[in-house]
């Protein structure tokens, strides 16, 4: 270069704005892995394919590097900020080190584009873009030569819809290529097909989806198909463009050429080269005799033929013609590396696309696969992932219930009446703190009411306070399998982030530890307040709840009784009396509880100037916890306090008060019996003598009935009102002690528990509704549902190290609290099918609404409103690198205890199942011995305490499926670990239940794992895998994804 040295020196001295990129880099030459000298800092300037190296910004260029016949290698490590220029000529490599990772990436991109090859790729990209523009303009140009009448008719085009089965995808097809031509004779192609849609109305080319990458063959057979959901606007006139690309091979541990920032869309020319493209009309495929098209692939200029592509129409309900024998050994070794999604606008494709499901599931992402079976037939798999509106609906319903419950509790505390100064100050403090918490709940509900957009909370929002009640990444993952000789099957898994209070943090652990610590501390505060055990406080809440429920019912039935008496209607009188008796007896027996008696005495001692007839001190903690039994009932009536304040307190007075309710009811019953008996006798006698006289008697005695019953009913109401007042005040005093002993920790723990429970309940409601719809035609499952209950199995993948240990503690308590939830199925009276939640913190009822036709399919017991029980169990196995640290240097006791406790719960459910269900009821129950063996195997694996024992997960999942349970898979954010576990489970099901060919297990697994998670799709809009290479290192081998596979994403 001596002959143009002056020109190069002049170019290097030009102003900064004239260069493509410039900046400081540390540079040295490298031979093999050894640096010849230590890197020295140089000012680098890039212009075209010339890289100038200068000692500083104002000095002369000391060296010029020509960026031709070289490539750039960037190391994958997050901490490594260096790149290496390698030359085909064999000269020493050039080592360049940047100041930061972003700077290193930007230099890698700039250097990768600086050679003639990069320029040629840009030219090819522009050529393809010109062809696409020409295709779009051709139809517009044709319109210019049409008569005006035809042009007007085209303004509102009428397109031919595709005939299809209801609720099935509009169009599905598979793809394969043959005789592809490579740029060089000895090159093995790594190909994938990009599918684009040309909408006939707009003539705009839209990228829709892509297949996986198939490596090392010129006759690729793609296992990933293309599916268009029912709502997608596709017609017979729609054109589909298929573009075949060849992906350049890359080293296993490095990435060449360009590295893009996370917020940028990958360019078409990066890491791939254009082979050929073709276009076909949807109508041609549908109307073809064999429902197959063989198309010729041509280069961008339309001249050279580079191979053929076969398009086969797919129908899930039909067997695909032909066998898989034509797949060569070379093709079987092909590895797939990229799957991209096709997104439906709304609704859910498939046979269960019903109005009630559409109200719950939204925005599905669909995929289609075909895999060979062991007998060389094809099976088809349709996979979909859908978000749910319940992610926000259930938390909002719960928060609204919490607000009402807390407002009622605050009012009950205010209605306690006059208290001694110590207790009165305590009450004021409690009410002040409760009002603050109530305001926080109200603010959260208001913020959630403003939420618009997607129906799920992404992992990056898990620390937001306004969204802390919302579950993370709650989705349905469904696999629909159609295989030869076997019945179609659906496999559902609910994926969700671990229910945990992320905003509050885990510095002091999770709920499991915090509740235990709080209870121990509360026992030592007896000198300030009276200690009541958690069981007794729960009883007090139940009594108050029953009071608010039963008293209005009793008053209503009493009024109906008087109304029947005024109308002199014997039948109506009997029915009203029956309902009144049933509810009143429940009310009376509810207060046969030592807790109410003891609490009344404690409340009396808290009154100013109290005097005891008998020496008595309110018993504390353990004494009351052992003796007291719970119950309760009636309503929220404001009355004067009837407990004496300054007179002697009679401990037996309470027995007389609640017994008066029963006596009053007996008086009403006796009076009704006498009236009916007299009426029958008089009607018989007078009816025989003078029928008209009998009619006059009816008119006369109607008033007598009402007048005789009225005072007795009023007495019953008065007695009941006195019981209600005393019971409400005594139970409110118990709750005052609970709150006062632990302010403000008690309220903060309640808040944390509400947050975790809200996240867990949203997932449970979603899982129950999906399971109910799936099993509507399975009489064995429906019988199991109302006879035994529903098993709900959670698969946890959290580690027991650092913050995730706190998450696991939160999750364990939240899932355990789901035992308090009951479900009830009702007939929908409107088009709103969203579930309705009623109840209180200790007991919730979820009312699931079904359309009339679906409701009629249910057993009579469920239609009559029988409450359906849930049996949640959690099995956790940490699988990442943090669990490795916990097993080697930390503690795994938490995980072991959780697994052991839930194993006992699972055994209890199985025992109940075998006792109540007939042996031939369920399709899987003939495998009773297998279930016993699986339970024993699970027990042994839990006792073995083996590191990262994923066998626990598989055994628990298998038992759950055989018992018709609902499956959940959870990790921190329901992305990396969850996706690996779910895809492994799906492929294992295909292998074990549907005879997936053994040589295709890994390839099927790779296909499913190349699907980006919804978060990547909607937030990042990038074609990247959700499995991060830096977290895969600690996983068990079967769950790992290699770095080579990760690069392909």
The pair phi, psi for residue 98, each rounded to 5°, is -95, 175
Is the distance from CB of 839 to CB of 548 less than 8 angstroms? no
Can you say whether residue 923 is alpha, beta or left, with left for phi > 0 and alpha for psi between -120 and 50 degrees? alpha
On whether the CB atoms of residues 643 and 726 are closer than 8 A, the answer is: yes
865: left (phi over 0), alpha (psi -120 to 50) or beta: left
Pairs from 946-952 (Cβ < 8 Å, separation ≥ 24): 947/887, 948/877, 948/878, 948/879, 948/883, 948/884, 948/887, 948/1035, 948/1036, 949/877, 950/877, 950/879, 950/1036, 950/1038, 950/1039, 952/875, 952/877, 952/899
139-to-130, 197, 302, 387 alpha-carbon distances in Å = 15, 15, 18, 39
CB 510 within 8 A of CB 805: yes
3-state secondary structure of 565: helix
Give just the sign of the alpha carbon dihedral 420, 425, 428, 434: negative
Given 44, 971, 1007, 1026, which residue is catalytic?
A: 971
Spell out the alpha helix ranges (H) of 415-533: 421-449, 511-522
- Alpha carbons 100 and 116: distance in angstroms, whole number: 28
Do 385 and 881 touch, CB atoms closer than 8 A?
Answer: no
Give first-to-last CA distance, the chain, whole Å.
Answer: 42
* The token pair that represents 394 in the structure block: 């259930």
Distance CA 384, CA 1003 (A): 19
Q: Is 335:1007 a contact under the CB 8 Å cutoff?
A: no
* Contact present, 320 and 379 (Cβ < 8 Å): no
- Tokens 């999750």 locate to 811
Tell me the backbone φ, ψ of residue 146, rounded to 5 degrees: -90, 150
Angstrom distance (rounded) from CA 644 to CA 592: 21
Residue 140 token pair: 């517009």
User: Which class for 296: exposed (0-12), middle (13-18), buried (19 or more C-beta within 10 A)?
Assistant: exposed
Bridge-based pairing of strands 489-497 and 966-971 is parallel
- Angle at Cα 459 formed by Cα 516 and Cα 795, nearest 5°? 55
C-alpha 354, offset from chain centre: 20
- Tokens 């000012």 identify what position? 43
Q: How far is CA 454 from CA 47, 833, 1018, in A?
A: 45, 19, 9
Other C-beta atoms lying within 10 Å of the C-beta of residue 585:
13
Residue of 883, 1049, 1044, 886 whose CA lies nearest to 977 = 883
- Asked if 474 contacts 763 with a C-beta cutoff of 8 angstroms, the reply is yes
Beta-sheet pairing, 34-35 with 40-47? unpaired
Return the DSSP state at 924. Answer: T
How far is 5 from 132, CA to CA, in rounded Å? 45
Cβ contacts of 443 within 8 Å, gap of 6 or more: none
Is residue 971 part of the annotated active site? The answer reads yes
> Tokens 């008595």 belong to which residue?
616
Contact residues for 144 (Cβ-Cβ < 8 A; gap 6+): none
Bridge pairing between strands 361-372 and 342-343 = antiparallel
Which residues carry out catalysis?
971
């Amino acid at each position: 270069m001596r002959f143009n040295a002056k020109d190069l020196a002049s170019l290097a001295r030009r102003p900064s704005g004239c260069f493509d990129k410039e900046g400081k880099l540390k540079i040295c030459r490298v031979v093999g892995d050894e640096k010849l000298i230590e890197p020295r800092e140089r000012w680098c300037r890039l212009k075209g394919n010339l890289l100038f190296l200068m000692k500083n910004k104002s000095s002369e260029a000391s060296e010029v590097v020509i960026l031709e016949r070289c490539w750039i290698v960037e190391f994958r490590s997050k901490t490594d900020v260096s790149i290496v220029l390698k030359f085909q000529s064999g000269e020493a490599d050039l080592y360049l080190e940047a100041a930061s990772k972003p700077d290193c990436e930007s230099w890698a991109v700039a250097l990768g584009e600086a050679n003639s090859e990069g320029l040629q790729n840009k030219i090819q990209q522009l050529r393809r873009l010109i062809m696409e523009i020409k295709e779009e303009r051709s139809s517009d140009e044709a319109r210019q030569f049409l008569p005006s009448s035809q042009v007007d008719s085209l303004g509102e085009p009428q397109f031919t819809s595709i005939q299809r089965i209801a609720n099935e995808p509009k169009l599905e097809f598979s793809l394969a290529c043959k005789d592809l031509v490579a740029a060089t004779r000895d090159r093995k192609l790594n190909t994938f097909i990009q599918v684009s849609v040309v909408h006939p109305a707009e003539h705009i080319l839209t990228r829709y989806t892509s297949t996986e990458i198939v490596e090392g063959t010129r006759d690729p057979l793609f296992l990933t198909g293309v599916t268009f959901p029912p709502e997608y606007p596709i017609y017979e006139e729609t054109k589909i463009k298929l573009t075949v690309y060849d992906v350049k091979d890359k080293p296993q541990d490095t990435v060449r050429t360009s590295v893009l920032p996370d917020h940028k869309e990958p360019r078409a020319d990066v890491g791939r080269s254009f082979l050929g493209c073709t276009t076909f009309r949807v109508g041609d495929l549908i109307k073809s005799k064999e429902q197959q098209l063989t198309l010729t692939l041509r280069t961008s200029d339309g001249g050279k033929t580079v191979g053929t592509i076969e398009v086969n129409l797919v129908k899930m309900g039909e067997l695909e013609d032909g066998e898989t024998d034509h797949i060569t050994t070379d093709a079987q070794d092909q590895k797939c590396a990229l799957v991209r999604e096709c997104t439906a606008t709304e609704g859910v494709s498939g046979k269960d696309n019903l109005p009630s499901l559409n109200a719950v599931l939204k925005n599905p992402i669909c995929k289609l696969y075909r895999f060979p079976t062991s007998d060389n037939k094809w099976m088809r798999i349709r996979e979909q992932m859908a978000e749910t509106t319940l992610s926000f609906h259930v938390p909002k319903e719960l928060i609204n219930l919490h607000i009402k419950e807390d407002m009622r509790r605050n009012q009950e505390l205010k209605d306690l009446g006059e208290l001694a100064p110590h207790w009165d100050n305590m009450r004021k403090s409690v009410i002040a703190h409760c009002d603050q918490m109530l305001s926080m709940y109200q603010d959260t509900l208001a913020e959630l009411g403003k939420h618009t957009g997607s129906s799920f909370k992404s992992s990056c929002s898990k620390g937001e306070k306004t969204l802390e009640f919302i579950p993370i990444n709650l989705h349905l993952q469904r696999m629909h399998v159609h295989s030869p000789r076997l019945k179609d099957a659906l496999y559902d898994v609910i994926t969700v982030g671990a229910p945990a209070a992320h905003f509050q943090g885990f510095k002091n652990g999770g709920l499991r530890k915090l509740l235990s610590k709080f209870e121990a501390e509360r026992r030592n505060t007896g000198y300030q307040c009276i200690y009541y055990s958690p069981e007794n406080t729960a009883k007090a809440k139940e009594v108050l709840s029953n009071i608010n429920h039963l008293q209005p019912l009793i008053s209503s039935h009493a009024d109906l009784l008087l109304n029947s008496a005024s109308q002199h209607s014997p039948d109506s009188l009997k029915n009203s009396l029956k309902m009144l008796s049933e509810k009143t007896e429940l009310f009376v027996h509810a207060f046969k509880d030592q807790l109410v008696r003891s609490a009344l005495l404690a409340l009396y001692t808290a009154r100013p100037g109290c005097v005891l007839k008998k020496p008595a001190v309110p018993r504390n903690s353990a004494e009351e916890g052992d003796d007291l039994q719970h119950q309760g009932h009636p309503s929220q009536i404001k009355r004067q306090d009837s407990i004496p304040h300054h007179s002697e307190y009679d401990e037996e007075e309470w027995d007389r008060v609640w017994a008066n309710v029963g006596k009053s009811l007996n008086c009403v019953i006796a009076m009704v019996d006498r009236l009916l008996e007299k009426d029958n006798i008089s009607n018989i006698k007078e009816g025989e003598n003078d029928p008209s006289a009998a009619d006059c008697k009816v008119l006369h005695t109607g008033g007598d009935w009402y007048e005789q019953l009225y005072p007795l009913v009023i007495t019953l109401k008065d007695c009941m009102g006195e019981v209600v007042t005393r019971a409400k005040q005594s139970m409110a005093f118990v709750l005052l002690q609970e709150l006062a002993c632990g302010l403000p920790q008690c309220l903060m723990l309640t808040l944390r528990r509400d947050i975790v429970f809200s996240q867990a309940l949203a997932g449970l409601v979603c899982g129950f509704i999906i399971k109910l719809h799936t099993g509507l035609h399975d009489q064995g499952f429906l019988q199991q549902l109302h006879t035994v209950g529903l098993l709900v199995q959670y698969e946890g993948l959290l580690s027991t190290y650092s913050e995730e240990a706190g998450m696991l503690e939160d999750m364990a308590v939240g899932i355990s609290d789901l035992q308090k939830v009951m479900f009830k199925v009702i007939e929908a009276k409107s088009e709103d099918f969203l579930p309705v939640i009623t109840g209180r913190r200790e007991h919730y009822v979820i009312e699931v609404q079904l359309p009339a036709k679906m409701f009629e399919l249910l057993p009579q017991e469920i239609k009559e409103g029988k409450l359906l029980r849930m049996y949640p169990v959690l099995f956790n196995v940490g699988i990442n690198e943090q669990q490795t640290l916990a097993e080697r240097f930390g503690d795994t006791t938490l995980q072991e205890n959780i697994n052991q406790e839930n194993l006992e719960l699972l055994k209890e459910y199985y025992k109940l199942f075998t006792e109540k269900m007939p042996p031939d009821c369920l399709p899987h129950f003939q495998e009773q011995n297998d279930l016993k063996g699986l339970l024993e195997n699970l027990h042994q694996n839990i006792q073995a305490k083996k590191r990262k024992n994923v066998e626990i997960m598989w055994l628990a999942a298998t038992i759950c499926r055989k018992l018709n349970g609902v499956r959940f898979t959870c990790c921190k954010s329901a992305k990396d670990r969850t996706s690996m576990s779910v895809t492994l489970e799906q492929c294992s099901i295909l292998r074990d239940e549907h005879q997936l060919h053994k040589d295709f297990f890994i390839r099927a697994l790779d296909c499913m794992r190349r699907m980006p998670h919804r978060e990547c799709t909607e937030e990042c809009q990038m074609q990247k895998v959700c499995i991060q290479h830096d977290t895969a290192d600690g996983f068990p081998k079967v769950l790992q994804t290699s770095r080579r596979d990760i690069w392909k994403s």
